[in-house]
Structure 1
Amino acid sequence: MTNYSLVESDGPDEPPDGRTAALAAVEARLEHTNELLRRMLAEVAKTPSTHAIFVDAGYVYASAGLLVAGTEDRRNFDLDAEGLIDAFIDTARTIFADSRLLRVYWYDGARRRIHTSEQQAIAELPDVKVRLGNLNANNQQKGVDSLIRTDLESLARHRAISDAALVGGDEDLVSAVEAAQGYGARVHLWGIEAADHGNQADPLLWEVDSQRVFDLDFCRPYVTRKPVTLYENENAPLPSREDVAFVGARIAATWFAERGRDRLAELLPGHPYLPGPVDGELLTEAERLLKRSLRGHPPLRRALRDGFWQHLRMVCQN
């Protein structure tokens, strides 16, 4: 029969000294990690949320101009962009009461992406960043929607904003909204009251987190229609077709110098017709130079276009 000896013990087995030290080290590291997390959460709790305002200037000019001045043509009204931007900021401050403004992004088009004097003045405003797309021969913006998407997606991805107020209406902005929402940002669509029919695409309205529309009373202080030009010599004899054609060629020379061959290449396929915006610019500038209205005189307007085209086609041959 085997004899067993009993060993008296004061308690449960103690782990070796090396294991005790290892456990102590792990506990110390866990406590350090927990302390870092507590500090980080405390900082996050103290950090306010952030919002930014993204403005499609082409949409604002067209919608506010039509609503207040009855025209989408920028040449026929003045827009107090600084005052309107301040109003947008005040609105955001009310809606996002516990949030701070990152900045206002102002998206517009310009020939060769060169700032106009008006765009430069806007760019100099505090907390405003001007982003420029291009303008084609028809004065249509190109590349603006992609700029909005890039900024929206980048800011949302880097958690730089929690809310985005988007002033626009183009369906092409849907992808920008989806991209920002994919990173957790909320997108709020702001619009200008439509003068007759809707000016915001339904798919865009369906995609955003909230909607707000600025009415006539809100927009009226920032839009001023320009006075109709009155010419002193309206009773004078009409200019000859040759004189009008010469003025058309003179305007074409300026047009080409400002826009270059790329814009001319876009214009040529439409010969002998001119896109509406270009034709409007041509008529307005011709009347300014002639100090005489050409409205109601179709033969003279044809002579004006003929002179314009003749110069441009001569440029193509050189």
Structure 2
Amino acid sequence: MAAGPGAADNEPRMNDADTPQVTETDARLRALDGRLERTNELLQRMLAEVARTPSTHAIFVDAGYVHAAAGLLVAGTEDRRSFDLDAEGLIEAFIDKARTIFADSRLLRVYWYDGARRRIHTPEQQAIAELPDVKVRLGNLNANNQQKGVDSLIRTDLESLARHRAISDAALVGGDEDLVSAVEAAQGYGARVHLWGIEAAEGRNQAEALLWEVDSQRTFELDFCRPYVTRRPVTTYENEGEPPPSREEVRFVGAQIAATWLGERGRDRLAELLPGAPYLPGPVDQDLLVEAERLLSRSLRGHAALRRALRDGFWQHVKAQF
């Protein structure tokens, strides 16, 4: 039977105007598929690169805590003037320990936080700063030889490195409760913080609040610390019954020590002391006193005028060289 005249009208028709629209849509879909493929390929390459890139760790050392805790544990005193700390050896021991703990990670660097008057490096701090992979950061040292500003430096570095994904793990050697905020800041950016401490001679030398916040804890015991702490010998003086030396004699000894140090420590290190004149950083002043007492075979403790004469002689020679 022939189709009626209206049958063809019921079949769908495609207008010529419809054809470009379908073609344009297909082209857009194909372009979108291409971009998705390229994006997926890029993501896969990035993930592969990340998988090949080792994680990174850094070690943050509160030198004040280390001196106090290790000195008390090994030498029986927190007084820095009573013992010597082999900072280079201890830092290397920390690095070796980190290599074992973070086996698949590389070391960014060791941060050594200490205090100094007017933030001027002492000769000992300068020597530490010259070690490879070590950065010395200085807070202030007040009249009571107390560190000021060290905790804020630790927080700044920890937070910044974690925020920029420069580290995945941080080993923190310290014990002050003020470090809690530094730990929280680093953890907020995804870094793991591991608290390292030194065995307490008695009681506890790390704040409980700090122990609660960190991701792991580790304590270094006496046998670990003993090789790096040496108690200074107690000097005996044979001439204590005689009158004290004159101020001129002590002033001459001060100049003599300055001349010796100039040859041993170098002009640059002594020149760094000039901005602090007439004061000397605590450790340098202590070294000057100990050396003067050795040369004089007399104690200058309790003789404030003679100690001033000693510093006068020291500064007189130093300033004459610059």
Tell me if TM exceeds 0.5.
yes
Alignment counterpart, residue 57 of structure 1, candidates 47, 59, 63: 63
The correspondence of residues 261-300 of structure 1 with structure 2, limited to 5 A, is: 291-293=297-299
Superposed displacement of residue 134, structure 1: 1.1
Per the alignment, residue 121 of structure 1 pairs with 127
Instruction: Write the letter of the residue equivalent to 1:24.
Output: R
Superposed displacement of residue 231, structure 1: 1.9
Instruction: Write the letter of the residue equivalent to 1:105.
Output: Y
Alignment counterpart, residue 4 of structure 1, candidates 3, 7, 24: 7
Superposed displacement of residue 237, structure 1: 2.4
Whole-angstrom CA distance in 2 between matches of 1:228 and 1:307:
21
Superposed displacement of residue 24, structure 1: 0.9
So what's the TM-score if we normalise by structure 2?
0.76
Per the alignment, residue 215 of structure 1 pairs with 221
Per the alignment, residue 130 of structure 1 pairs with 136
Cα distance, 1:222–1:307 mapped onto 2, change above 3 Å: closer
Cα distance, 1:131–1:280 mapped onto 2, change above 3 Å: closer
Whole-angstrom CA distance in 2 between matches of 1:46 and 1:40:
10
The correspondence of residues 32-181 of structure 1 with structure 2, limited to 5 A, is: 32-181=38-187
The correspondence of residues 187-202 of structure 1 with structure 2, limited to 5 A, is: 187-202=193-208
Superposed displacement of residue 292, structure 1: 2.7
Partner of 1:220: helix, strand, or coil? Answer: helix
Per-residue CA distance 1:20-40 (angstroms, 9 max, x = gap): 111111111111111100100
Superposed displacement of residue 148, structure 1: 0.4
Alignment counterpart, residue 28 of structure 1, candidates 34, 43, 57: 34
Whether the aligned pair in 1 keeps the contact of 2:115 and 2:139 (CA below 8 Å) is yes
Whether the aligned pair in 1 keeps the contact of 2:300 and 2:307 (CA below 8 Å) is no
Instruction: Write the letter of the residue equivalent to 1:163.
Output: D
Structure 2 unaligned runs (5+)? 255-272, 309-322
Whole-angstrom CA distance in 1 between matches of 2:113 and 2:289:
28
The correspondence of residues 13-24 of structure 1 with structure 2, limited to 5 A, is: 16-24=22-30
Partner of 1:16: helix, strand, or coil? Answer: helix
Superposition misfits of 4+ residues, deviation over 6 angstroms: 279-286, 306-309
Whole-angstrom CA distance in 2 between matches of 1:305 and 1:114:
24
Whole-angstrom CA distance in 2 between matches of 1:168 and 1:122:
18
Whether the aligned pair in 1 keeps the contact of 2:171 and 2:195 (CA below 8 Å) is yes
Whole-angstrom CA distance in 1 between matches of 2:58 and 2:200:
24
Instruction: Write the letter of the residue equivalent to 1:222.
Output: Y
Cα distance, 1:4–1:189 mapped onto 2, change above 3 Å: same
Whether the aligned pair in 1 keeps the contact of 2:70 and 2:198 (CA below 8 Å) is yes
Whole-angstrom CA distance in 2 between matches of 1:167 and 1:199:
12
Whether the aligned pair in 1 keeps the contact of 2:171 and 2:193 (CA below 8 Å) is yes
Superposed displacement of residue 7, structure 1: 4.5
Per-residue CA distance 1:143-200 (angstroms, 9 max, x = gap): 1111100000000000111110000001111110000000010100000111122111
Whole-angstrom CA distance in 2 between matches of 1:125 and 1:154:
23
Per the alignment, residue 239 of structure 1 pairs with 244
Instruction: Write the letter of the residue equivalent to 2:6.
Output: N
Instruction: Write the letter of the residue equivalent to 1:157.
Output: R
Per the alignment, residue 270 of structure 2 pairs with none
Superposed displacement of residue 291, structure 1: 3.4
So what's the TM-score if we normalise by structure 1?
0.77
